[in-house]
Structure 1
């Protein structure tokens, strides 16, 4: 009956003067279907519709279920419906083409169109077994069982040769420690480790990439050295070098996650592993025309064996991390809490550690380091909890603020020169620069005079450089004090001992890193 009704609608629109393409768009059917109906007489259409009603299809018993899914989620793909059928009815045996044709007919009968998004990729050569894993992160918004929206985050791994995949989910943004733990779980799932891992330019593993010189976060640098794998960082907007993992991210979103009801993160991860076994790693890959699970059985022999799971550093296990936003706040339980102006560093490590004690939130730069801020925890949501000392001093004009900062230095002449230079270099951000200088004066009082001299000598006209040099000097002093001998007598008769000197790296080496004179 539906087919016959559609036949009549096509002919009515055609008689009204609509062209084939317009009829197809209005009715949500293909142009080929319009052409087919226009060439049929009413008697032929009636006979054809009657034959369809009498013909039984393999998916007819599941027709009502599939229609309800399509009406509730019009963007469902036939591949995702196939997976849902296999999950709901474990004994069912169907092929992908059977599902596609059945879904196509249902969409035309019930006018449930599906938009198709196409992205172009350039073909690249296949890599040998055991050479590479590609890694990427993703996020998606879903509804939980109470129909409330939740945001989930996931990390994906794929072996480039076999297309064998691993996925892990969290209900919060990933930290570097989470990333390392997921790497270990992925290696265990794959049964080994490849020669190379490919990443996007993600802040969880990299601080910056300077003309090819990759600067990793301290945690991930230690992990890379322990595991001894080669790391490749993709250029921005370069999908060819990581197209496989981008396809996996899209596959996980559209085939597994989209339109599912979320219960809790543990059950969600279990369902995802079952989906990998049932669909993600079992279905024939569209490019290789092979099942990833079968190819992986061979590729596994080319992976490097890994030792038991590495112990994640204890420094990070007892603290929760947050990322400082550009407006110098951190987010915690739907509220924003301020940190001192200048804490956020562009292209820097903006992670801080937080602790809660009774009704107080404590924010630290390191898990065992100095306290950046203390706030009373708010029980409300959407609030900005701000310490007035963290804000700009708007009670003074810029010139008065400069004079106040300069007076805090012992060498006022050098301080005035430095402030004048950074004011010229950053005319729109003078107050922000002064705030960072004030922060440095407060936290590195003993080192700032020497740091000021170094910055002027090497023409580092930035408050960020002044802070970084001061911080380096403080760290160097702390290291020297830890390595100094304690109450030990030097052998007076050993010439070799008397002539031995400790190797000290020149400050110029660090200035070069900061991009000072001569670079």
Structure 2
């Protein structure tokens, strides 16, 4: 509002109503300004000689415009402004929406001018603009919490992990046993599940569990953290060493956690880390639901309305920390897994090759030149041989199938008598494995002498109750299978007599 125009029209003798109609403002607005000018104690002519800044100092900075047209515009700004951080936001697009739904709309120039007046850009120190869904800041709090052992009364200090999305400042807090790699990765897993998605990058401090070698310009990220990022499809961006301003938001989140989580729990005693985390989550809900002082929304509302949809979907499986070992493939086609002292099979063509073993609490993977060649479920049984039959050569695969039934069935394909011979062979002794080579030798005889001759030879051997590979071979080499089997006379040459008791009496 140009105050000098009101003064000029007033000095010309126009009424307040006429001034309002001339300038296109509400009559009450003109009444307000004229009362304020008159109450200043200075004549109108003297006020007209003042510059604009001096005149504006006589009035409150709060607008007194109260017409319906302006009110409609302000209500539209209130719904439009929270969306300004969405990718692709433009004033031109929203002006078109405003013009379509408003009968007496302002021009585009007035639209932008009123918007910039209502939401002035703060100037001075640099403020980083954070894009929704782009980064997740993570750190451990400097102050620890305590857990008491219920049986001994021993007090243990536990670490507190904090993760925050800088755009909405939606925050996750969890207590864990240490800052070691396994605990750090588990906290990150839980944080991503809490947010329900994955940001473009994770910004971490130069923790030992995250960075192998810190640097102001190019930090070296450890292998596990890289593998974690690859699993979730995000990047890792460590902050510069000795540059706390790079992680100001997460530092602020830590300070707020002290106020809104630590302090309310200061008189409570926890006997397990699970109970402690349950109470932390209770206070965390209130922390995320508190309205910002200068915004009309809470952290949770900003996250749900803007940021959650911009996060990448979580993979189906949760990342598990991997350990690494090296092993050479043995002649049997197995690698020795020293952690559990067990053996795992790999395809036989890699015999003699150096491989890398990657393992978790559930699986063991074997890699050759960055290519996975074997995957097994982890079996923690010392000395066990874990075998995938597809890894064996045809010879080894057949060997793994050997059993008394297997050889009996193979013998049945040659002849009925061969099957009877195989059955009798394995009835001898308590350890059938010693007869596997003999059974293989008998099957090879069928290739050399033919099925018919071997079947006849087995008939002769079974008739004489003799189950020997060498005896069977002698029958074939001496052509005894070609002769008729003589029926033996089992009648004793000793005459029968009631005083002769026989051999059974002396057993």
TM-score range, shorter chain: 0.3 to 0.5
TM-score normalised by L of structure 1: 0.36
TM-score normalised by L of structure 2: 0.37
